[in-house]
Structure formats: C-alpha cells, structure tokens
Amino acid sequence: MKLTRTWLDLNEIALRETLFHVANGYLGVRACPEEGAPEGVHSIRGAYLNAFYDTYPIQYAEKLHGFPMESETIVNVADVQGVKLFLGGEWFDPCAGTLNSFEQTLDMAAGQYIRHIVWRSPKGRETEITFRRMASFVTKELFTVHVTILPKNWSGDIRIVSGQNGDIRNDGDPNDPRKASEAKHVLRTVESGNNEQHMYMQSETISSGHTVACAVTHTSGDAFSLEFHSNPIENTATLSGRAKKGIESSFVKWCVYTDSRRHPSTLSTAVQLVKSCAETPIETWYDKQRAFLNEFWGASRVILRGQPSLQAGVDYAAYTLLQSAGQDGISSIAAKGLSGEGYEGHYFWDTEIYMLPFFLLTHPQTARKLLEYRYATLEAAKRHARTLGHPTGALYPWRTITGNECSSYFPSGSAQYHINSDIAHAVCTYYFVTGDLEFIRDKGADILVETARLWLDVGHWLDGQYRIDGVTGPDEYTCLVNNNYYTNLSVKYHLQYTLYLCGLLQQVYPELSLEKRYGLSDKEFKEFENISRNVYLPYDETLGIYAQDDSFLSKQKMDLPSMSRECFPLLLHYHPLVFYRQQVCKQADAVLAHFLYEDGIDDAVIRRTYDYYEAITTHDSSLSPCVFSMMAARIGEPEKALSYYMHSIHLDLEDKQGNTEDGIHAANMGGSYMGIVFGFAGLRIRPDGLSLRPCIPHSIDSYAFPLRYRGRRIHLEVTQKTVTLQADGPEPVNMTLYGMVYPVTDQAVSIPLDNHPSV
C-alpha cells in the first residue's frame, strides 16, 4: 500500500505536493520540499485545518436581491514545513550537486510520507537524508517531521534551520473559476515568540476573527544544541551538531495546530499539547498510527487481483478519503480534501452522493458525523430558503463551509435544488444500512422534513402532475430548466422515504408527535404523499428515453467529435450561454438518476438513456466517469465499465484533469470505491436490505471487499466463475443476489456468477 516516485521532476513539484500530502480529517499539509522549491519552480505551499475559514465580500457589478454578500475560504495556516540543512558548510539543495538516489513514498499502511535522498554535494560530500512526515490519526492536532542524516564519506559540522512562518498567502487564479480569484493574505499574526523549549505563534483571520495557534518543539537526544530567533511573523530554531562519517543523527520537529472553532484556548492548548506529544518517543507514535490504520484497512480495503495499477489506485482513493473526512460535526469533506485550495475548501453535494457511501459501508460512525454537520447547518439552510423567497422549509447551499451559500453564480449554484434530495438520500440510506433510528428521531427527521417541505413551494400542479420549474440539475452545462429529470425523480424518493421513516418513528416511538416535534401536519403529510405519486418525469416516446429536462432534447447537439481537446473543459473556453443552448453535458445527470433511483424503470429504457447521454457528455467534471462506469456495469457491459473505471481510478495519479496540483478530486476518490462496490458488484441499498448484481471484466481475476450492514460484517468475493458471501456470525443476514434471496452466515456460500445479469 504505497505510492512511490523514484525520480525528481521539477515540472511536477506542485502536483506531487498534492499526491503525497498528509492529512487526518482535521489537519492537512501539502508535501512541499522542506528546503523550499527551486527558484522559478511552481509550488503551492500550504497547510489547512478543515472548516477553519475566513470570509470576504463578493463584488458584483450588478447585484440583485438575494445574491450572497460574502463568501468563505479555507485558510492557509502558519507554515512549519521549513527545514534547511547545512552539511559541512554546504546547503542541501537537490538541484545542486548530484542526486545518486531519490524516492518519494506515501506509505498508506504506516500513515507516513517519506522522502529518501542520497545527495552528493558540489564539493563531493555524500549524505543519505530521510524526511519522514506524519499527520496523526490518533491526535488530530499533531504533525511531525522526522529527519535523519547519514554522512557517507565525510565528517564535519551540521547546522539545521527549522522555521515557523506566519507570513502566508492563500493561493488564487483569476482565470480559473475552480479557485479563488486572487492570492491574498487572510491571516495576520498577533503573537509570536519562543521560550527555551518551543516556538509559538497565534494568528487571526482578517475578516471572520477566528484564531489559530501553532506550537513547535524539537527533540534530538544529545545530537544537537538548540538556539532560537524570533520576529513578529517568523520563528526559527537552529540545531547545531557534529557529524561523523557513517554515523546517523536525527531530530524530530513536533508541530501542533489548534483553532478557535474547536479549542477555547488556542495558544495555551497548542503549547501544552506539543509538550505532551514530544514526551512520547516518535516510534511510539508511529506504532499508534500503524495500529489505527490496521483497523481502518481491515474494515474497508478492496482487494483487486489481475491489474496491480487498479489495486494501487483503489488503495489511494480509500486512504485519501480517510485523510479528508471531518469527524467533529462542524466539518465535512471539501472538494479537494485537505490537499489544496481548489474550490476554497468548500463542501458540495458531492460529499453525500459520492463520498459518504464509502464510510457508510465501512466506518458508519464517520458517516453519522458527516450527516451531523448537515444537521448543524440546518438553520443556515432555512435562512437560505428565505433569501430565495420560500416562506418555509430549508434549502442547502451549493458550496459552503459554515452553511451559507458561497457561490456568486446562482444559475449553476443555488439553482441546484436537488442538493436537498441528495442530502435526504444520504440520511435515508444511513438508516437503511445502520438501523440507527435514534439518529433519525433526533436529527435526521428534522433534515428530511425541512428539506421536503421546500418542495411544496418550489413546484406547482399542471394537468394532474407536479412540476418543478427554474432549477439546475447535476449537469452544470444546462442551467435553469423546467422539470430536470434527476431533480424530479429525486423528489419522488425524497418524499417517499420521508413518509416511510416518519411512519416508522410513529410505530417505534408512539409518544412522539410528528406535528409537535417536526411541525409535520397531517395536511403536509398528505401533500408529500400526493406529490411523490404524481411528480412529472419527462419522457420522450420517440427516443424511448428520459429527457434531461423539458427542453433539452429539442436543442441543437454540440459537435463534440470535431472539437480539439484544447477546447476542454468547456467552462474555461466558452461563455456559459454557448453550452446552455446546446445538447451537451458536463457530467452524468439522467444517468446518475438511474444509478440512484432505478426501481420501476425498465432495463431497456436505462440502456437507451445511457447510450444517448454517453454520446453528448464531455466528462469535464470529475464526478462523471465513475457514474458511467457503474452504469455500464449495470447494463451488462463490464469491459466498457472497466474503461471508464480506469480513467476514474487514475484521474489524480495521472493528472488527467490537469489541475490535481490544486488538490485531489475527493468525490472521484469516492467514485473509485463505488466503481467496484456499486459498479462491478452491483450493490444497491434499499429499505428492505442490500441487493447485488455482480459482474467482472475479463482482465480482472477477482475482487473482494468487506462491508458493514446493521452492525454485521459481510465479506464478498467475485471471481470469474463464482460469487462468495460470508457474514461474521451464525445468525443469517438476507442478501439479494440476482433477484434471489440468500441467508448469509459465517458459513461461506458460493453462487455461480452471471456476468451479464442485465442483458
């Protein structure tokens, strides 16, 4: 379980800073060179705390009523990565002298990023240097840099300058809507200094007034003496010692971050915690990290045999999801995780549809925490609904950190009302998998009812059907349409499952009044039921497919085959009206609808809909290939599914979108997991249990994975000939396979593989 690069490529510095980042859901640090990037080489130096943000005003030339007044951005916090080595009087610079060996490794079993170098200096001194980093999964505030130095052919003085820099900017690009428009200072240092043991720094966000503290100390045994220097924005510690040929020396840089959203006393907490952490040997921390990850991988690892690159990719996907997921109820999973500043650290509906399923099936306690974040921001969603003119209900924003809408472009932002149903879908599937009705009673039902209530005001009745006008579906190349198929279909299930769970609450908790607890009257209950039965789903009789919306199929098709690849992604090269007026999709829309809500839809319709939209989809969104992969498996084309899956699994590792330097595509990481579990294995989560429809491409020998369902652990393995199911105890768990129900126990059951179940 390692990601490795064995050569130095100056053109990939920023890309590798993303790929090899270390994070733990709270803290993320990009894998920037400790000595600094060479002059003229693109580097994005950054460290981030999940949900730690600043605000800034949104500027409009023409502002209309209800437009957001300000946005939020994740903050690049104090830089503690700096470690400069002076070996025998020569500064270690990989671009000077000779690199006899160079290797970068992300060890996903140990939870460490390791850079190992054998360097011959311009004067011929050869030194073996290892930088080892860890963001602790056990103590989330802790980040360490462990440096070992082995002189190969020389003896002499060693001097190390270790820094803590508060003069930090956020990254930006005025020509890329996926990033902040400008690089800017959003943090100011208010206190900085040192004592004889540690350096400390407290900073404050310029607009929001949040504080963050960072404390740093060093341990090295008796190898080095220590001297500090401080100024108002930077602290340095100088470690000095004597190197002997063939004898290794080392030191550990211990860094702790605390922020005011989670820690009442940021600076004192950081100082106390860094002292406490440094009292335990670093090897003990490594043991704790590995023990944590042993448990994580045991509960979640997908095993693929036959294509090693796929195994490496799906391991990386799962690991980066773990690194990205907030688990404190005030944070979620940013679009770029904690690996970069793309999308400014905002949370999207991607979390619930693409990323939460991984945790739901492997670590449901994390899935609950992600849903608790949505509960914590429900009041903000209600305010957002009022801003958009709805007297009741809640409307979750398109992009946010605290629950406020951060997008200034409403046609592809706030108009995505389907976000309500996406979050509701996650709440419902959480219950279907876990049976945690207490969560539904205490928090989930509030989300379901308030988001469902909004649909009563958004839509209208026409000719006995409920229609929803002026919204945007998942496809951001088609905006402000009437009766987006994905939205309307999701509303049907949103209301249906809300009714189901509210009815269940009444059965299990007879003392609970739906009207008193959630404000759900009998009148609203009946309206939910009526709409769910009669919501309009646009269908084209001639083509035999579901239309993406009322007008989509009547538009001119964009001539995608004749366009140069340099024209993609379209959003960076064309005015939005160009693609709004044509049949072209940025990502899966109707196809995604059939993935999430397939019940009652004929297989032939699903296939025809898939084929039609495949021809006009650019996959400019990283959310798209994994959906087309899963649905190719659904329609009985595992080889096509594999082709899309290969793109998805390598999207960041091979920088297929060209912007991985700004951070990983976290939703695609979720899609890479789903591509096996929901794609090839055909898993579907329903109120009455789990169903499977496995298939397997010819070039894969087998795949296997564990999952959790209703407190039980179930293991599935698919080979070219059989499907094997096994549970963790003698009590049977009913699983539906190809439409047949099998009681699964600790005695493995094997069923012949039907590799084309949908044909």
Strand partners, 460: 467
| Spatial contact of 423 and 447, defined as CB atoms under 8 Å apart | yes
How much is the mean pLDDT over the chain? 95
Give residues with Cβ within 8 angstroms of 600, minimum separation 6. none
| Spatial contact of 727 and 747, defined as CB atoms under 8 Å apart | no
Three-state secondary-structure class, residue 406: coil
Q: What is the CA radius of gyration of the chain?
A: 27
CA angle, 658 as apex, 654 and 663 as ends, to 5°? 85
Percent of the chain with pLDDT over 90: 93
The closest alpha carbon to 4, from 371, 324, 309, belongs to: 309
Beta-strand ranges (E) seen in 35-108 are: 47-49, 53-57, 70-74, 83-87, 90-91, 98-107
Residues noted as catalytic: 476
**β-strands 90-91, 83-87: how paired?**
antiparallel
- SS3 labels along 718-741: EECCEEEEEECCCCCEEEEECCEE
| Spatial contact of 543 and 517, defined as CB atoms under 8 Å apart | no
CA angle, 336 as apex, 330 and 339 as ends, to 5°? 95
- Dihedral-angle region of residue 478 (phi above 0 means left; psi in -120 to 50 means alpha; beta otherwise): beta
pLDDT at 113: 98
- Count each helix (H run) and each strand (E run) in the chain, helices first: 20, 34
Residue 442, token pair as written in the block: 């205490």
Pairwise CA distance, residues 107 & 312, whole Å: 11
- Dihedral-angle region of residue 499 (phi above 0 means left; psi in -120 to 50 means alpha; beta otherwise): alpha
| Spatial contact of 112 and 133, defined as CB atoms under 8 Å apart | yes
Q: What single letter denotes the amino acid at residue 631?
A: M
pLDDT at 162: 97
The ranges of the chain with pLDDT < 50 are none
CA angle, 554 as apex, 549 and 557 as ends, to 5°? 100
Give residues with Cβ within 8 angstroms of 122, minimum separation 6. 90, 96, 97
Count of Cβ atoms closer than 10 Å to residue 294 Cβ: 11
CA angle, 238 as apex, 235 and 240 as ends, to 5°? 175
**β-strands 47-49, 53-57: how paired?**
unpaired
Q: What is the pLDDT of residues 331-361, one digit of tens each?
A: 999 999 999 999 999 999 999 999 999 999 9
Pairwise CA distance, residues 56 & 72, whole Å: 6
Pairwise CA distance, residues 273 & 287, whole Å: 19
**β-strands 27-29, 126-135: how paired?**
unpaired
pLDDT at 178: 64
pTM: 0.96
Count of Cβ atoms closer than 10 Å to residue 686 Cβ: 11
What letter would DSSP give residue 580? H
Three-state secondary-structure class, residue 714: strand
Beta-strand ranges (E) seen in 533-617 are: 539-540, 545-546, 556-557, 582-583
Alpha carbon of residue 8 to chain centroid: 28
Pairwise CA distance, residues 56 & 37, whole Å: 30
The closest alpha carbon to 434, from 705, 670, 690, belongs to: 690
pLDDT at 237: 96
Q: Is the dihedral of CA 82, 86, 91, 97 positive or negative?
A: negative
Q: How far apart are the first and last CA of the chain?
A: 37
| Spatial contact of 591 and 627, defined as CB atoms under 8 Å apart | yes
The closest alpha carbon to 476, from 588, 396, 559, belongs to: 588
Q: What is the pLDDT of residues 521-573, one digit of tens each?
A: 999 999 999 999 999 999 999 999 999 999 999 999 999 898 888 888 999 99
Pairwise CA distance, residues 87 & 97, whole Å: 13
Domains in the chain, CATH or no CATH each:
2-58+68-295 (2.70.98.40)
